[in-house]
């Protein structure tokens, strides 16, 4: 991705789109303080540069019967590159794993897992995750204290925010 210099208007557009991906271009332009045509050009440029990667809906997991969200810390027995990649490929095929991060330290991977209930998670844990080749042990975090998508986008330069 090429490095793009963002001005105040670009940052405002990004902040507003991150907060509401369905905002109309007219409302987006009004909030950014510009007219609609240049706003649309800026959005397209942000998309083409790769800063805006896509748009999605935030779904309530409970509304679809997924009442448990768990973060599983996975430690592998082997850290050979081929073994790390094999684990990543295996995890990529499991629909209940929604996010996977490789870590440095005692834990090798952090997985975000959704399940219908605790019994469903336990089945996933014993039949798939701990049974997978090279998995040494798994620790589970069971409660979320904060969930906020995206990244913090200052809409004013840091010097002006102080």
Q: Tell me whether strands 97-102 and 68-76 are parallel, antiparallel or unpaired.
A: unpaired
Q: For residues 85 and 137, state if they share a domain.
A: yes
Q: Residue 150's pLDDT is what?
A: 83
Find the CATH number of the domain harbouring 90.
Answer: 3.30.70.920
Model confidence at 94: pLDDT above 60 = yes
Find the CATH number of the domain harbouring 50.
Answer: 1.10.10.10
Q: For residues 18 and 50, state if they share a domain.
A: yes
Separation CA 42–CA 20 (nearest Å) = 17
Q: What is the pLDDT of residues 98-119, one digit of tens each?
A: 999 999 988 999 999 999 999 9
Instruction: Report if residue 147 sits inside a domain.
Output: no
| Residue pair 45/6 in contact by the 8 Å Cβ criterion | no
Residue 14: domain span? 8-57
Model confidence at 92: pLDDT above 90 = yes
| Residue pair 43/37 in contact by the 8 Å Cβ criterion | no
Neighbours of 27 (CB within 10 A): 14
Model confidence at 3: pLDDT above 70 = no
Domain count, the chain: 2
Instruction: Report if residue 118 sits inside a domain.
Output: yes
């Amino acid at each position: 991705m090429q490095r793009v210099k963002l001005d105040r208007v670009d940052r405002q557009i990004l902040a507003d789109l991150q907060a509401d991906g369905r905002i109309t271009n007219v409302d987006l332009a009004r909030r950014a303080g510009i007219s609609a045509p240049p706003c649309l050009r800026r959005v397209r440029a942000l998309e083409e540069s790769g800063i805006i990667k896509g748009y999605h809906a935030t779904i309530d997991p409970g509304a679809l019967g997924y009442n448990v969200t768990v973060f599983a810390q996975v430690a592998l027995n082997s850290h050979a590159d081929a073994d790390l990649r094999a684990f990543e490929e295996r995890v990529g095929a499991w629909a209940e794993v929604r996010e996977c991060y490789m870590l440095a330290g005692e834990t090798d991977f952090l997985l975000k897992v959704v399940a219908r209930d605790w019994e469903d998670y336990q089945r996933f844990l014993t039949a798939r995750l701990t049974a997978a080749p090279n998995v040494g042990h798994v620790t589970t975090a069971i409660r979320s204290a904060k969930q906020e998508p995206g990244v913090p986008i200052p809409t004013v330069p840091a010097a002006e925010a102080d």
